[in-house]
A and B are shown apart, each in its own frame.
Chain A
Amino acid sequence: DTGVSQDPRHKITKRGQNVTFRCDPISEHNRLYWYRQTLGQGPEFLTYFQNEAQLEKSRLLSDRFSAERPKGSFSTLEIQRTEQGDSAMYLCASSFYGTGDERETQYFGPGTRLLVL
């Protein structure tokens, strides 16, 4: 399967615990994005990387959230001291940023559904 993959697909945790999610983008894609989607809403942008550089972070991303893409391939999103309001679907997407017309198409992974009890 050459699509975007995410792990785990589901995570249940207790309030105050730390969780970490992983995203593996399409192999030739140099951009990687994280979004959060709550029930009945569209995905909300959190942050994105070009290669290993984190280029932008949303104001939605509090200090409890941190994302990395250490080698410019897979990425991790960590949430520290989880709160019930963090319960959502966390989606990863990737794209190829270049000079051609296809550079902006983002392909999404299946998401990690987080439930904080």
Chain B
Amino acid sequence: GENVEQHPSTLSVQEGDSAVIKCTYSDSASNYFPWYKQELGKRPQLIIDIRSNVGEKKDQRIAVTLNKTAKHFSLHITETQPEDSAVYFCAASMETDKLIFGTGTRLQVFP
């Protein structure tokens, strides 16, 4: 079955710096790759997603890139702010839509 690996497990950056989180997936049939942000005690919230027919997608300070050949995708956050501090999860799915999640990255943005 599908397996998603996520790195790093923790990431500390200074406010205003960029943060990059990387994920790899195992099943080449996966075609949908969302990213969720989860604050302590809260529900996972979708922040951006990308489909396999697109190589990059941006939404203000957030961007996701996908390399289908290498089977990896990355989340880029620019101009980080303290409110970006949270746990970020990548996920992958195929047509059945069940999501296979990575193990999460705890991002801390220091003022």
Contact yes or no, B89 A43, CB < 8 A = yes
Q: Which of B13-21, B74-82, B91-99 lies at the interface?
A: B91-99
Residues of A within 8 A of B49 (CB): 104-105
Closest chain B CB from A110 CB (angstroms): 5
Tell me, yes or no, whether A48 is within 8 Å of chain B by CB: yes
Of B4, B43, B97, the contact of A31 (CB 8 Å cutoff): B97
Q: Number of A-B pairs whose CB atoms are under 8 Å?
A: 57
Closest-by-CB residue of B relative to A44 is B101
Instruction: For A106, give the chain B residue with the smallest CB separation.
Output: B99
Chain B minimum-CB-distance residue to A40: B104
Flag if B46 contacts A107 (CB, 8 Å): yes
A4 to B44, CA, bound (A): 12
Given A104-B97, A108-B45, A109-B43, residue A42 in contact with residue B104 (CB < 8 A): yes
Q: Are B99 and A105 interface neighbours, CB within 8 A?
A: no
Within 8 A of B (CB), among A73-117: 91, 95, 97, 101, 104-111
Residues of A within 8 A of B (CB): 4, 31, 33, 35, 40-45, 48, 55-56, 91, 95, 97, 101, 104-111
